[in-house]
């Protein structure tokens, strides 16, 4: 995520939860929920609130347990390592493409029918006053909705894999809260069922649009594997072309220029479809600006760096303007610093690090920062590549600076002594300039 903070991630999880409510296998659960609680209503308002809250908590518990299980099994450092593993990135790509095909109706994700039937039978055998029975109904509902929520939950957990154990906890809590809230309210007020629109063909349109977005998301992880293995196939230009193509396909679909087998016939194109099509068209035009070399702001964090080939020792875009970066060679950096009498700026970065890309595109590119960095011998050390050199650079970061977090920026004097460090992302150019000024 660009300039990812846990606050931004929480808001993303809320949005994912809201989108999940629009999917076909979730929406029809509205009358089922209302019917269940109409037949098992509590005698008092307090009792009704209690039962509805337990039902919502059952839904939330399912999703939070899923996220925390990921964190407990992998651990914070393990999750980071998994996130940068090229095979894991290829697996995630395949999962996202699989989610997309499922949303397109090529096949359907579902839990074994025997398991679901048994769980439903146990839940309905419980009495309405039972805490376990009500929460089990929430669990049953969550598992029943898995067919449509899997793409959203999977996306959140993949993004959470680039943080620490707090991320899946926060993400699944936010997702499940929004997801459970309407059903908590419906459990309190059964008569709202008659006011809800019926499930229809418009939900298939939501699935198809999300399917194209899942394909676009898959390109991020495919490009991660490309960067680590240095294929130079899924470059910034290639990914931008695919993203633009996905948005244009959404525009064509919304305008009714093509439809899938499970879609109903589209008569006159509604005003809502035209509005959404224009929004996606604007997004495609904006992304095309990136093909001309223009910065895309926060979106740049999801893209491969423009200088994707990072095997060379020294790299420079324009030596008359910008001093070269020494890549993956700390010893050369130390020798250059001693020879030139300059301080050293170390950029601990990663091929799969979105925050690193954002800093490079939005902070390092500022003219004042670029000029100031020319005072330094600039060393860029990747810590998530495939090979011994990357492992040793991560060990160096951990041993000398006590962290493996990315990005990490370190200032050293010409003798290699630490002047200061700055971890993570900042949007404040002046704050970063102040950090650089520590090395005078």
Cβ pair 413, 351 in contact under 8 A:
no
DSSP state of 75: -
Q: Output Rg (C-alpha) for the chain, integer angstroms.
A: 25
pLDDT of residue 14: 84
Distance CA(178)–CA(55), nearest Å, equals 14
Distance CA(244)–CA(259), nearest Å, equals 19
At 423, phi and psi to the nearest 5? -105, 145
Q: pLDDT for 184-209, tens place per residue?
A: 877 776 544 444 555 556 667 877 88
At 412, phi and psi to the nearest 5? -125, 150
What is the arrangement of strands in the sheet containing 344-349, beginning at the earlier edge strand? 314-315, 325-327, 377-382, 344-349, 408-412, 418-423
**What tokens appear for 66 in the block?**
């899923």
Tally Cβ neighbours within 10 Å of residue 90: 16
C-alpha angle with apex 274: 272 to 278, nearest 5 degrees? 115
Q: pLDDT for 258-283, tens place per residue?
A: 888 777 776 778 888 899 999 999 99
**Domains in the chain with CATH codes:** 1-199 (no CATH), 208-305 (no CATH), 314-436 (3.40.30.10)
Residue 380 in this model has a pLDDT that exceeds 50: yes
Residue 77 in this model has a pLDDT that exceeds 90: no
pLDDT of residue 16: 75
Of residues 415 and 107, the one with the higher pLDDT is 415
Dmax of the chain from CA atoms?
84
| Predicted confidence band of residue 72 (pLDDT cuts 50, 70, 90) | low
pLDDT of residue 244: 96
Mean pLDDT score of the chain: 77
pLDDT of residue 357: 87
Cβ pair 246, 213 in contact under 8 A:
yes
pLDDT of residue 2: 42
Q: Is 389 left (phi over 0), alpha (psi -120 to 50) or beta?
A: alpha
Of residues 308 and 180, the one with the higher pLDDT is 180
């Amino acid at each position: 995520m660009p300039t990812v903070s846990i606050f931004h991630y929480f808001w993303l999880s809320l949005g994912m939860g809201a989108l999940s409510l629009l999917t076909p296998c979730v929406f029809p659960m509205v009358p089922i929920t209302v019917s269940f609680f109409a037949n098992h209503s509590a005698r008092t308002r307090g009792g009704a609130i209690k039962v509805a809250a337990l039902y919502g908590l059952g839904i939330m518990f399912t999703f939070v347990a899923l996220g925390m299980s990921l964190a407990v099994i992998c651990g914070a450092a393990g999750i980071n390592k998994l996130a940068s593993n090229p095979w894991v990135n290829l697996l995630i790509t395949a999962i996202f493409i699989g989610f997309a095909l499922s949303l397109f109706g090529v096949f359907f994700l579902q839990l074994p029918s025997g398991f679901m039937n048994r769980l439903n039978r146990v839940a309905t055998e419980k009495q309405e006053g039972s805490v376990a029975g009500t929460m089990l109904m929430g669990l049953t509902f969550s598992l029943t909705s898995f067919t449509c929520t899997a793409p959203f939950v999977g996306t959140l957990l993949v993004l959470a894999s680039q943080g620490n154990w707090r991320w899946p906890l926060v993400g699944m809590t936010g997702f499940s809260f929004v997801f459970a809230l309407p059903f908590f309210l419906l459990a309190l007020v059964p008569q709202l069922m008659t006011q809800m629109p019926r499930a229809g063909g418009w939900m298939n349109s939501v699935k198809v649009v999300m399917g194209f977005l899942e394909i676009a998301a898959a390109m991020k992880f495919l490009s991660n594997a490309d960067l680590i293995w240095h294929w130079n196939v899924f470059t910034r230009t290639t990914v931008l072309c695919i993203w633009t193509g996905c948005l244009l396909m959404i525009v064509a679909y919304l305008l009714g220029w093509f439809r899938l087998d499970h879609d109903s016939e589209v008569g006159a194109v509604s005003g809502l479809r035209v509005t959404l099509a224009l929004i996606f068209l604007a997004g495609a035009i904006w992304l095309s600006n990136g093909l001309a070399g223009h910065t895309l702001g926060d979106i740049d964090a999801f893209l491969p760096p423009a200088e994707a080939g990072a095997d060379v020792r020294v790299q420079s875009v324009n030596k008359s303007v910008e001093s070269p970066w020494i890549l993956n060679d700390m010893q050369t950096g130390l020798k250059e610093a001693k020879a030139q009498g300059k301080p050293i700026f170390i950029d601990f970065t990663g091929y799969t690090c979105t925050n690193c890309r954002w800093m490079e595109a939005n902070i390092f590119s500022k003219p004042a920062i670029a000029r100031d960095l020319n005072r330094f011998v600039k060393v860029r050390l990747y810590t998530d590549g495939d090979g011994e050199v990357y492992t040793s650079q991560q060990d160096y970061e951990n041993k000398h600076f006590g962290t493996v977090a990315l990005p990490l920026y370190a200032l050293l004097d010409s003798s290699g002594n630490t002047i200061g460090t700055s971890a993570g992302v900042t949007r404040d150019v002046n704050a970063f300039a102040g950090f650089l000024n520590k090395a005078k």
